[in-house]
Amino acid sequence: MSTNAPQLQAEQITLLLRNMYSSLWPAIVVALALAYTLEPAHGKFTVLCWAIAVISSKTFATWDAQRLLAQPILPAQVPALVRRLLLLNAIDGIAWGALAWVGLDPQAAPASVLVIAVLSGIVGNSMSLLSPVLPVFVVFCVGELGMLALKAWTMGELAYQALSVAALAYLGSLLSQGYNSARATRAAIELRFENIDLIEMLKVESARASDARVAAEQANHAKSRFLAAASHDLRQPIHAQSLFLEVLARSALTPEQQEILGNARAAGLASAEMLHTLLDFSRIEAGVVDPQPEAFQLQTLLTKIESELAPQANAKGLLYRTRDSTVALYSDPALLELILRNLVSNAVRYTERGGILVACRRRRDHALLEVWDTGIGIAAEQQENIFLEFHQLGNPERDRQKGLGLGLSIARGLAQLLGHPLSVVSQPGRGSVFRLRIPLAQQAPLHRHVRKRPQERPTLGLRVLVIDDDQAVRSAMQHLLAQWGCLCMVAEDLDSALELSAQVPPDIIISDYRLRAQRTGAEAIATLRAQLGRELPALLVTGDTAPVRLREARASGVPLLHKPVAPDQLYAALAELANHDAAQH
């Protein structure tokens, strides 16, 4: 990064011209004072003429500088301006040097001392004023001190000839210092230009970075929209499939058909788990997860996780151990369960030999919940990247058995939401330990009564209006609700739903959130309630995972289920709504 010579010289000339005004009034004062003080042999008139010449020269140079500064100094003007400044300052230097011819008088020693002192001070002061353009400084010094040295030499006395030599030595010293000053000034100007260039480069890079950030945000939004759309479209048939499989499970099947059905339900469950993982990620992004912290016993959660995930570890030949704990924690048990399930699932997924240990250690006012594994380990430079969404180690083929790469991202997001710091310590080839720091409960946890699910569900006997634009979902809901003893009416849009409800008023409404004609399930439920004149129990069911849709659905105040909905979950929700409505009436 370098500045071209004409541009640099233009800046030097600008600096010199700006210095001119500051030297005008001191020069006028000195010249007038000398004209008043000196009484040379040549008379007052001679000194007065000299003062007028000096003042005129200085005034014109200052006026010319102000005129030139009215416009920017361009590099193309440099040669002409340098010649102009050389001429004006040569005249100015000679004019000041003429003082030696006017004021030096062997018969008047005080006057001679005054003249020498003034000329020395003027030429010394000119260094700061003129040294930015070294040739200009040189001509001024040569003009002034040259006149002094010449006059002193021609006076014939040894003392004055010594003064002449001293003046020339002083000239050499000044020129050397002026050269150093000019170099320093040039370096300062170059540094300023470099800083300006750096600032411009930073602006350009900042603009590029800003453009890249905007592009990345747009790509991220596009990714989120794509995932939401893909997730929604995938959820519809899987939701319908799970309902049809539930209907089929209640049919008379041979043992071989029961085995095939079990395999089909397992495959559907695996697909549903992946979709629910995407949903968990979207819910965190949407900010619709509200922690409900309470005091609870950790051992219940540890037992539940072990019962669910230990079989997966055993199937891989791994040893799964849970260290019993009497610790009571203060957190949201449902969200903490989700964090722990993701951590343990990740440990099982990336461990091929050895085992997994889940343990909790008490530390003063908090506990450390730890998940140890003897898996592949994580390199130090990757230990933050593993918490990024869709980031996976050792899965370039995107094997679905290794998940989607969202588990740790969800765990970190929920941990931050709960205020529980999550950290990892790992060594490649030796395994990892994930630690979650959780506050201890300050009071005894409430006893939780867990009801066992009955083997046979009682019939519901409800009139249910289902609004969904997917034919497969409507058909599956009709078959399933009929098995639960319900009269199921189905509509593909709001208009059809209004006609049906006018004929047979429903007890409960189940509506998909996204309907045709840009309508929403929340709007449909509000319209039907207005038509029927009462706060009819209702459920929203959605396959949409877009954060904005999740926030809208949540704001409606209607209970929300996410496709694919497990039949058990749907039955429980309907039974709860029916019981609540009956209690109010």
pLDDT tens per residue across span 24-34: 888 888 888 88
Residue 530 near residue 498, CB atoms below 8 Å: no
- In tens, the pLDDT along 400-415 reads 444 445 678 778 888 8
Buried b (16+ CB within 10 A) or exposed e, 554-570: bebebebbbbbbbbeeb
Q: How far is the C-alpha of 12 from the C-alpha of 79, rounded, in Å?
A: 13
What is the residue-averaged pLDDT of the chain? 81
Confidence of residue 395 (pLDDT cuts 50, 70, 90): very low
CA distances from 41 to 30, 111, 155 (A): 20, 11, 14
Kind of pairing, strands 422-427 and 431-439? antiparallel
Quick check: 358 pLDDT over 70?
yes
Q: Which of residues 262 and 491 earns the better pLDDT score?
A: 491
Across 105-109, 476-480, 497-501, least confident range:
105-109
Q: Which of residues 71 and 272 earns the better pLDDT score?
A: 71
Q: How far is the C-alpha of 25 from the C-alpha of 42, rounded, in Å?
A: 27
- In tens, the pLDDT along 273-303 reads 555 555 555 555 555 567 788 899 999 889 8
Across 3-7, 188-192, 327-331, 366-370, least confident range:
3-7
Quick check: 396 pLDDT over 50?
no
- Residues contacting 119, CB < 8 A, separation 6+: 96, 97, 99, 100, 144, 145, 148
Other Cβ atoms within 10 Å of 105 Cβ, number: 17
Quick check: 452 pLDDT over 70?
no
- For the chain, the first-to-last Cα distance in angstroms comes to 83
Q: Which of residues 395 and 56 earns the better pLDDT score?
A: 56
Highest-pLDDT range among 36-50, 54-68, 281-295, 546-560? 54-68
